[in-house]
Amino acid sequence: MLTTEQVIAKGRLHDRVFFLVGLTLTIICLGTLAVLLYNLLAAGLPRLNLDFLTSFPSRRAAKAGILSAWVGSVLVMLVTAATAIPLGVAAGVYLEEYARKNWFTSLIEVNIANLAGVPSIIYGLMALGLLVYQFRFGQSILTGGVTLAFLILPIVIVATREAIRAIPQHMREAAYALGATRWQVVKDHLLPYSSGGISTGVIIALSRAIGETAPLVTIGALTYIAFLPPAPFSTVEGRVVGPTEWLMSPFTVLPIQMFNWVSRPGDDFAANAAAAGIVLMAATLSMNLVAIVIRARVRRRVKW
């Protein structure tokens, strides 16, 4: 039979042991992240220079670069943002401010929750069957951007709804009392007040999209591209390029370029892969950082 003091001492000991276990596990996880970053930097930094950023891929590792890959990533992200932000914010506003509580609304809600759980490669298969072959968009920047937009749509919708829901009801009532219509309330009050929360969600979603490889591989994005999409209004072969022609251009993106180099044998290509990985990580981490900062500022500023 233990005395009361012994029972208390034992409990304290257990607490202390578990505190150390939790601390150790957290350090292991963060340490892995640190090792990953260190390993990437050590292998890739020597390769990362201006030539690497301004050269096309090449069969010789030392001459290869990521020009077409990062330009492709930027253009695909433009299409993704231009598609996913209006669609996602509009859907979020509708579900939060307009939708009546009925079976149709709950169907849309269940559907969005399920879409969020669909693996990204399934979106790629859908885009391959529908966008590439049925709609004849081809294996183009347009297809890639729209595919990733579909993929991140649930994230944007959920972020929009949460940001709008956080606005207290009395803000809406004050506006309605002054005779504002529903759209005026949304446009002049709800969207400006929730813009911080919405942009956090959008940036997180885009940071996920920029690292996505599988759906773009599935739609048939190329791995070897030694030209850039035609710039609008430039002259190619004596003909002026239209403003939207780049949308239909074949493309590659950073993660696909990295995947291509990872799967090749030899240390030279591994260094290229690491250097591409550094650029990719820099883009992802800086987007996440911006999102964290915005979120912290929104939380501190808002006092209803």
Partner 1 sequence: MTHLAVPIRARVLSVQAATRARPVERMIEFGLLLAAVFSVFITAGIVYVLFSEAIPFFAHEEVTLRGFLTDRQWTPLFSDKHFGIMPLVSGTLMTTLIAVCVALPIGTAIAFWLSEFVSPRVREIIKPVLELLSAVPTVVYGYFAITVIAPAMQRLNPDLPLFNMLAAGIVMGLMIVPYVSSLSEDAMRAVPMLLREGSYGMGANRLTTALRVVFPAALSGIAASYILAISRAVGETMIVAIAAGNQPKLTFDPTEGAATITAYIVQVSMGDLPHGSIEYQTIFAAGITLFFMTLAFNLLGAWLKKRYRQVY
Judged by beta carbon, residue 53 or residue 126, the one nearer partner 1 is 126
Residues 220-259 within binding reach of partner 1 (CB under 8 A)? 220, 223, 255, 258-259
Residues 130-169 within binding reach of partner 1 (CB under 8 A)? 130, 133, 150, 153-154, 157
Q: Are 188 and 99 in contact (CB under 8 A)?
A: no
Size of interface with partner 1, in residues (CB under 8 A): 90
Q: Does 189 engage in binding with partner 1 (CB under 8 A)?
A: no
Minimum Å distance from CB 217 to partner 1? 5
Distance, in Å, from the CA atom of 80 to the CA atom of 148, rounded to the nearest integer, reads: 6
Distance, in Å, from the CA atom of 80 to the CA atom of 93, rounded to the nearest integer, reads: 19
Minimum Å distance from CB 126 to partner 1? 5
Minimum Å distance from CB 66 to partner 1? 13
Judged by beta carbon, residue 28 or residue 302, the one nearer partner 1 is 28
Minimum Å distance from CB 122 to partner 1? 6
Minimum Å distance from CB 233 to partner 1? 31
Distance, in Å, from the CA atom of 254 to the CA atom of 132, rounded to the nearest integer, reads: 21
Chain length of the chain: 304
Judged by beta carbon, residue 23 or residue 231, the one nearer partner 1 is 23
Task: Locate 275 and state its tokens.
Answer: 């250097």
Residue type, 73: S
Judged by beta carbon, residue 58 or residue 106, the one nearer partner 1 is 106
Cα of 212 vs its chain's centroid, Å: 8
Residues 263-302 within binding reach of partner 1 (CB under 8 A)? 263, 270, 273-274, 277, 280-281, 284-285, 288, 292
Among 53, 55, 191, 208, which residue interacts with partner 1 (rule: CB under 8 A)? 208
Distance, in Å, from the CA atom of 144 to the CA atom of 124, rounded to the nearest integer, reads: 9
Distance, in Å, from the CA atom of 237 to the CA atom of 228, rounded to the nearest integer, reads: 15
The helix/strand/coil state of 244 is coil
Q: Does 129 engage in binding with partner 1 (CB under 8 A)?
A: yes
Judged by beta carbon, residue 21 or residue 45, the one nearer partner 1 is 21
Q: Which of 127, 144, 150, 129 shows the shortest CA–CA distance to 250?
A: 144
Residues 26-85 within binding reach of partner 1 (CB under 8 A)? 26, 28-30, 32-33, 35-36, 39-40, 43
Judged by beta carbon, residue 61 or residue 246, the one nearer partner 1 is 61
Minimum Å distance from CB 163 to partner 1? 16
Distance, in Å, from the CA atom of 99 to the CA atom of 105, rounded to the nearest integer, reads: 6
Minimum Å distance from CB 211 to partner 1? 3
**For residue 136, which phi and psi values (nearest 5 degrees)?**
60, 40
Distance, in Å, from the CA atom of 72 to the CA atom of 58, rounded to the nearest integer, reads: 17
Residues 93-122 within binding reach of partner 1 (CB under 8 A)? 93-95, 98-99, 107-108, 111-115, 117-122
For 99-109, give one letter per residue: b (16+ CB within 10 A) or e: eeeeeeeeeee
Long-range contacts of residues 109-112, Cβ cutoff 8 Å, at least 24 apart? 112/154, 112/157, 112/158
Minimum Å distance from CB 293 to partner 1? 10
